[in-house]
């Protein structure tokens, strides 16, 4: 692991300057921290704020960048019209548009490269957005160094980063079935619902939206606790106050592709 870490530092040192696409998650925080340690003021984190990124995630990114001490910018991005219908290639379309804008920012600022936090584990899952990274020449130094998610967490802990055990998150579009036009109200409902659940102590949460129904996905042990939580009635009441007609708990726990399952079931109906 530490040999990979040293290799990562060599990779980053080979860049004259670097913009890091910064979400405030485990991987991008670790990458930005190492980039700042190596490159100093020649490393900058940029966070894209879109209508389908949770507001608390943007706030988190600002706080974490402040902890590192690195220069950080939040750039507001409007809807990418091609993804309003939530197509299966939404991740590719989104990443292509957002990283193209980061390359433009690099040109304007005179920075030599743009990087993001993909790691070895990401290659084991279907992630269509990775194709856009390759097409645009975006650097993936964590992947190049051969680092896995567990190694990044361990190194983050050793570096004193507060994100070392932070759960992974994804944009709010992943809470909706493919092919369903995204309703702005529903998007805000999911955003507020997940922020509320995190405040109640359920950090690793997904609130899937299905025709007015809130389907909660969380690790099994959290599900067991929720069912005995004395605040359960209060939690359900709050979620319904957001506009959900029903609140359900998915007994199969959180899983990466459950939104695809919903889309496939609808097609077979």
Is residue 218 domain-shared with residue 149, that is, in the same domain?
A: no
Give rounded-to-5 percent helix, strand, coil for the chain: 55, 15, 35
Q: Which domain holds residue 235?
A: 172-268
Could you read off the pLDDT of 134-188 as tens digits, one per residue?
Answer: 999 999 999 999 999 999 999 999 999 999 999 988 899 999 999 989 999 999 9
Task: Please give the pLDDT value at position 269.
Answer: 31
Task: Please give the pLDDT value at position 212.
Answer: 85
Could you read off the pLDDT of 194-248 as tens digits, one per residue?
Answer: 999 999 999 889 999 988 899 999 999 999 999 999 999 999 999 999 999 999 9
Is residue 203 domain-shared with residue 128, that is, in the same domain?
A: no
Whether 7 is in a domain gets the answer yes
- Model-level pTM greater than 0.85? yes
Whether 166 is in a domain gets the answer no
Whether 151 is in a domain gets the answer yes
CA torsion, points 144, 106, 71, 133, in degrees to nearest 10? -30
Q: Yes or no: say if 151 and 26 are a contact pair by the CB < 8 Å rule.
A: no
Could you tell me the CATH number of the domain that includes residue 26?
3.40.50.620
Whether 20 is in a domain gets the answer yes
Query: How many structural domains compose the chain?
Result: 2
Could you tell me the CATH number of the domain that includes residue 206?
3.30.300
Is residue 42 domain-shared with residue 135, that is, in the same domain?
A: yes
Number of H helices, E strands in the chain: 11, 7
Is residue 58 domain-shared with residue 127, that is, in the same domain?
A: yes
Residue finishing a domain among 158, 184, 206: 158
CA pair distance 222, 30, nearest whole angstrom: 27
Residue 256 pLDDT grade (very low, low, confident, very high; cuts 50, 70, 90): low
Q: Yes or no: say if 71 and 39 are a contact pair by the CB < 8 Å rule.
A: no
Mean pLDDT of the chain: 92
Is residue 197 domain-shared with residue 71, that is, in the same domain?
A: no
Is residue 153 domain-shared with residue 98, that is, in the same domain?
A: yes
Is residue 37 domain-shared with residue 110, that is, in the same domain?
A: yes
Mode of pairing for the β-strands spanning 206-210 and 113-115:
unpaired
Is residue 183 domain-shared with residue 146, that is, in the same domain?
A: no
Whether 12 is in a domain gets the answer yes
Is it the case that residue 47 has pLDDT exceeding 70? Answer: yes
Is residue 141 domain-shared with residue 182, that is, in the same domain?
A: no
CA pair distance 208, 170, nearest whole angstrom: 12
Task: Please give the pLDDT value at position 51.
Answer: 93
Whether 165 is in a domain gets the answer no
Strand partners, 66: none
Is it the case that residue 13 has pLDDT exceeding 80? Answer: yes
Alpha-carbon distances of 113 from 39, 64, 71, 116, rounded to whole Å:
12, 22, 16, 10
Q: Yes or no: say if 18 and 114 are a contact pair by the CB < 8 Å rule.
A: yes
CA pair distance 258, 264, nearest whole angstrom: 10
Is residue 177 domain-shared with residue 243, that is, in the same domain?
A: yes
Residue 258 pLDDT grade (very low, low, confident, very high; cuts 50, 70, 90): low
Is residue 36 domain-shared with residue 94, that is, in the same domain?
A: yes
Task: Please give the pLDDT value at position 263.
Answer: 46
Residue 267 pLDDT grade (very low, low, confident, very high; cuts 50, 70, 90): very low
Q: DSSP E strands: which ranges in 55-201?
A: 71-76, 113-115
Alpha-carbon distances of 127 from 155, 173, 202, 251, rounded to whole Å:
24, 14, 26, 25
């Amino acid at each position: 692991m530490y040999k990979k870490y040293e290799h990562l530092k060599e990779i980053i040192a080979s860049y004259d300057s670097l913009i890091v696409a910064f979400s405030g998650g485990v991987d991008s925080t670790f990458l930005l921290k190492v980039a700042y340690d190596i490159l100093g003021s020649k490393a900058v984190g940029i966070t894209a704020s879109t209508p389908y990124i949770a507001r608390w995630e943007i706030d988190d990114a600002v706080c974490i960048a402040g902890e590192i001490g690195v220069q950080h910018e939040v750039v507001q991005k409007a809807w990418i019209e091609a993804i309003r219908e939530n197509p299966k290639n939404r991740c590719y379309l989104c990443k292509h548009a957002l990283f193209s804008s980061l390359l433009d920012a690099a040109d304007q600022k005179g920075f030599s490269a743009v990087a993001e936090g993909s790691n070895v584990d990401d290659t084991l899952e279907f992630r269509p957005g990775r194709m856009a990274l390759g097409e645009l020449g975006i650097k993936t130094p964590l992947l190049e160094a051969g680092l896995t998610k567990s190694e990044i967490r361990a190194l983050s802990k050793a570096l004193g980063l507060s994100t070392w055990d932070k759960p992974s998150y994804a944009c709010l579009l992943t809470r909706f079935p493919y092919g369903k036009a995204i309703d702005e109200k529903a998007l805000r409902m999911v955003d507020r619902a997940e922020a509320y659940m995190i405040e109640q102590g359920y950090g690793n949460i997904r609130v899937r939206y299905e025709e007015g129904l809130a389907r909660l996905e969380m690790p099994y042990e959290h599900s067991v606790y929720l069912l005995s939580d004395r605040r359960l009635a209060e939690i359900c009441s709050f979620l319904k106050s957001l506009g959900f007609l029903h609140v359900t708990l998915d007994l199969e726990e959180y899983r990466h592709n459950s939104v695809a399952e919903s889309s496939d079931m609808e097609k077979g109906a």
